[in-house]
């Protein structure tokens, strides 16, 4: 569990860094998993994949709902919602999938549960997505301009990839350094929330996007989370719009992160990453967890990503 200071830092700034959260043995599992999945990836890591490799590629949504009112193909819906189907598909690319997912669903989800609301009855967060972000080494001089432009990630916040209603379901990105990472090899830059005073209740920033799914204390917790993070993200947006180019707030804060450390990020905190100027691959793993399954459209059951409850990962025997 994280401490009260970590929780307050996350709410105040939108992120928190937990140094060397994983052991060498746990890191070895993720590095092995990353390497195996990377070896089975289709296309050029930089030009085709944009440095992002997902263990299981989800199918696009159907253009029109099927007879059951779903916008997902049957096989795709099973992969998104069934641990057995997801693990089967994932294991085709990595022999240590079970060990990697066990780590995500126990230790990492346990840490993240301190930061975003979750159903205390089931004790579970939900796995929304997982991806390896791997930046290749700097190319020879004649290719440096392209490498610089393509391996750097522009400023963004993770919720910006979701429809506005979906953003009302709290999420946390768990960015795990598999190598020592700083500005020289693709390090993160953060734009912390500016302090904008206490967050009062705002009827526009409540649990509207997850209506029908919340009751009692969980509904209150989601409302509080949204009041804090959406309110402070709005303050960030106004700050950026009025900032001059030389403003330190606009430039962000560079992070130097030791391997095995985790940067927990709200879906609303803005961040970017630099190009990898080193001669080695730079690897990070980023599972994303949510309070509940995240839907673009509840009417057609259009899931944003995965909807796998962390507490219900099947008990799979450890490999000898």
pTM for the full predicted model: 0.86
Beta bridge partners, 263, equal 17, 175
Query: Quick one: tokens of 153?
Result: 């990630």
Quick: pLDDT tens for 275-292: 999 999 999 999 999 999
Quick: pLDDT tens for 18-29: 999 999 999 999
Confidence of residue 212 (pLDDT cuts 50, 70, 90): very low
CB 133 within 8 A of CB 284: yes
Confidence of residue 246 (pLDDT cuts 50, 70, 90): very low
Residue 105 has phi, psi (to 5 degrees) of: -80, -15
Give the CA count within 13 Å in the CB-facing half-sphere of 108.
Answer: 32
């Amino acid at each position: 569990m994280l401490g009260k200071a970590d929780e307050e830092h996350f709410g105040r700034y939108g992120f928190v860094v937990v140094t060397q959260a994983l052991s060498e043995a746990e890191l070895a599992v993720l590095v092995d998993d990353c390497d195996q999945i990377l070896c089975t990836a289709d296309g050029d890591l930089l030009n085709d994949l944009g440095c992002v490799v997902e263990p299981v590629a989800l199918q696009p949504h159907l253009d029109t709902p099927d007879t059951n009112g779903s916008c997902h193909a049957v096989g795709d819906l099973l992969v998104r919602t069934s641990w057995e189907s997801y693990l089967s598909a994932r294991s085709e690319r990595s022999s240590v999938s079970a060990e990697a997912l066990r780590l995500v669903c126990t230790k990492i989800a346990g840490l993240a549960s301190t930061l975003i609301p979750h159903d205390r009855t089931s004790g579970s967060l939900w796995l929304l997505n997982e991806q390896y972000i791997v930046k290749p080494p700097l190319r020879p001089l004649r290719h440096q301009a392209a490498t610089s432009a393509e391996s750097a990630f522009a400023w963004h916040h993770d919720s910006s990839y979701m429809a506005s209603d979906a953003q009302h379901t709290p999420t946390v990105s768990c960015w795990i350094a598999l190598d020592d990472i700083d500005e020289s090899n693709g390090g993160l830059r953060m734009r912390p929330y500016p302090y904008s005073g206490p967050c009062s209740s705002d009827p526009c920033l409540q649990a509207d996007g997850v209506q029908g799914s919340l009751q009692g204390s969980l509904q209150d917790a989601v409302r509080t989370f949204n009041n804090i993070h959406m309110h402070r993200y709005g303050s960030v947006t106004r700050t950026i719009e009025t900032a001059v180019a030389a403003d330190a707030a606009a430039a962000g804060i560079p992070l130097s992160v030791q391997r095995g450390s985790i940067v927990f990020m709200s879906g609303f905190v803005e961040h970017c990453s630099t190009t990898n100027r080193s001669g080695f691959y730079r690897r990070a793993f980023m599972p994303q967890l949510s309070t509940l399954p995240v839907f673009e459209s509840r009417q057609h059951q259009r899931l944003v990503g995965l909807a796998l409850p962390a507490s219900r990962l099947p008990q799979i025997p450890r490999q000898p």
